[in-house]
Structure 1
């Protein structure tokens, strides 16, 4: 892979997202986000970029192409006289947009040895040049600029997926190769405290975008009122050391802690510890095999595991509304991908902390529509709404999430069995 064009690593300032409201700022943001994706791929060989380790993951090469296809198909092709440089690739890199046309089966993306990585990088360069020029010339109306911003938010989601999918693939290699050489630094976790909240009616969600200038996905809207009963929230996420106590106490052998579906999942997979744990003292990270830091948040848990731990601990998972109430007004600062650690860290402090970054936090809330939800018009309406079934909501972002991509209203969602994302948990409980 030619590293000359992608040697610059690092992430844009978290406040750059606000620049997307103005065309000039959007030009800069477009190029910054696109460079970030290339920077993530820079350390990889063509072989690294082509592997698909499971049906839920995708090759890095596919991520590079799909995020480019999004801009090609939804931003450039609607322009008069515009034509894709590779219309024959349309079905290869369409993810799930049924209304756009046929799609290559997701579990078979690793079979796409052609086009080559160099051809995909050439495709990116061509689309970047076309779209960058069109943005600079003021070609797009408000609707066009709105789709560009959506495409950038979409690409930032895929930046995180590049890291999680690659970590899963590397973990299956007996050599346990490192993606980067910076081992996660040891950390400290302060004592767990309980932060109390009284019963209240609270405003949840984001105003509908783009009627409101601040970006939010359609699934975050509309803003509405919710009653939350009195509750207490843990001051920090559960640590690996605390989760190790659950394992030692027979947590994976005691059916009483588990939901029925979760217990069947444990037995079917003969599971005994979180994903990427090699044994009770070591786990696989993006820096290769490393000792488990007992004070860092436990990570790579399924919803089943998070729920079982909470029951074992005499607590529960928070609802997404309780989580958002606690996070509202808090600064969006934390251990994000921008820091370069690419692994959770403990926080030796007091009070409510680590709501953003480190690990996505499972909630007890099923992923569904807010009252008055309206998907985006056209094919882009398939982006979120059609997945509102059999998924759980996660909040807060992770150590693999770009900082400028997250806000208190952000709703992530995955099936309850998903482990390969950087997901952990924070406990909640009801008043005594």
Structure 2
């Protein structure tokens, strides 16, 4: 990113505007309600982003006295499970809005006064970028909560662009050999994206686009949810226990629930709201597999002409609206082929945006990983029951998405905006 304080302030304000959009769209009763035991009440997320901003920017970077030290324990994500948060004595909507506004005033004053080269935490504006990304991640979580809430639509956005003139299908060959995974140079990259290291990846084939609703429907129609042959033992046990028969939010007869509306299923768009186990079963049925995390990143970043790893599939420039479906500009994945300008040099499409893509990799630190600035962001999740997702979704902001960015979740989760593409070994 940049050490330009005006640009950092603009990112903070742009992010807060999105938070306001997501929380002002509903009334106070909706804000304090828990729409799913998987999610916090929206009012908890609102105050939580303010509390994190206070902890890091006001108290740590700024060295200022606490505003509300008495509420720290209420908004510590490790102290209270999401299902238990509605019972806590949380700030009410008016109090939460006042609190986050007061924190922001102090944080901007800290930004105005701090030197951005005085210690690693603020080098390149890192602490401010960390807070921008944290809030944007919670904005995406709040967007997922909106998808789960009952009632009529409260959010609106134009439809995604149509597919391009060139049909995108089939597989792309990614040649074998080494490439640089991770980063040492992106100033806002988080600790689990570091350090840069060389990985030798054998040649493989990867789908040119994510698996679409139409393709996934073929799996369903072929009895994919009834045949344990395609599922791992854990996946089949979960499918039976949870009664899975289709992606979450499918409403039957070619329809889907989408932010308070029933809409026709866009057959050419990537399938969304599928778990790792569902993605794994589809891939096996299709005679393929899910890509490893290293394979996904090589397909997304490696430039065969120069041998270097790009920041994004299209190059090092930040995402524009022509590159990817990001930032809640639309409220659904775009049809395959809608972003030809965002393709990788080898012709792999929509690696960034639209849907988070499950990989077959467990979540661990890169070789040489070092905690920075706190273990609870990444390290405490290493070695747990988490699978890595890559690439971001239509609900992911550009500030929290790049070719090195890593997401992770339990393999049963599907309230997130998750999809996948397949890969296979060369025969």
- TM above 0.5, one fold? yes
Q: Which position in structure 1 is the counterpart of 2:96?
A: 120
How many corresponding residue pairs? 396
Q: Which position in structure 2 is the counterpart of 1:358?
A: 354
Task: Please give the alpha-carbon distance, in whole angstroms, between the structure 1 residues aligned to 2:400 and 2:61.
Answer: 28
Q: Which position in structure 2 is the counterpart of 1:10?
A: none
What RMSD, in angstroms, separates the aligned Cα atoms of the two structures?
Answer: 2.1
TM-score (norm 2): 0.87
Q: Which position in structure 2 is the counterpart of 1:201?
A: 178
Match of 1:38 among 7, 20, 23: 20
- How big is each residue's C-alpha offset from its partner over 1:88-116, in whole Å with a ceiling of 9 and x where there is no partner? 211111112xxxxxx34432112346421
Shift of 1:74: 2.3
Residue 113 and residue 245 in structure 1: after superposition, are their counterparts in 2 closer, same or farther (change >3 A)? Answer: farther
Q: Which position in structure 1 is the counterpart of 2:425?
A: 430
Task: Please give the alpha-carbon distance, in whole angstroms, between the structure 1 residues aligned to 2:381 and 2:401.
Answer: 20
- How big is each residue's C-alpha offset from its partner over 1:116-152, in whole Å with a ceiling of 9 and x where there is no partner? 1010000011111111122123377443443222111
Shift of 1:213: 5.2
Task: Please give the alpha-carbon distance, in whole angstroms, between the structure 1 residues aligned to 2:168 and 2:106.
Answer: 53
Where in structure 2 are the equivalents of 1:247-258 lying within 5 Å?
247-258=220-231
Task: Please give the alpha-carbon distance, in whole angstroms, between the structure 1 residues aligned to 2:243 and 2:220.
Answer: 14
Residue 44 and residue 25 in structure 1: after superposition, are their counterparts in 2 closer, same or farther (change >3 A)? Answer: same
Match of 2:299 among 321, 326, 340: 326
Match of 2:395 among 393, 400, 414: 400
Q: Indicate yes or no: 2:102 matched with 1:132.
A: no
Structure 1 runs not aligned, ≥5 long: 1-17, 97-102
Q: Indicate yes or no: 2:84 matched with 1:108.
A: yes
Kept after mapping to 2: 8 A contact 1:183/1:287: no
**Higher mean Cα deviation, 383-392 or 323-332?**
323-332
Task: Please give the alpha-carbon distance, in whole angstroms, between the structure 1 residues aligned to 2:33 and 2:265.
Answer: 27
**Higher mean Cα deviation, 398-407 or 188-197?**
188-197
- How big is each residue's C-alpha offset from its partner over 1:275-331, in whole Å with a ceiling of 9 and x where there is no partner? 111114111112521111111110000000001000111111111111111111312
TM-score (norm 1): 0.86
Shift of 1:425: 0.8
Match of 1:226 among 189, 199, 203: 199
SS in 2 for 1:361: strand
Shift of 1:404: 2.8
Task: Please give the alpha-carbon distance, in whole angstroms, between the structure 2 residues aligned to 1:130 and 1:181.
Answer: 32
Q: Which position in structure 2 is the counterpart of 1:269?
A: 242
Kept after mapping to 1: 8 A contact 2:32/2:92: no
Task: Please give the alpha-carbon distance, in whole angstroms, between the structure 1 residues aligned to 2:363 and 2:242.
Answer: 25
Q: Which position in structure 2 is the counterpart of 1:162?
A: 142
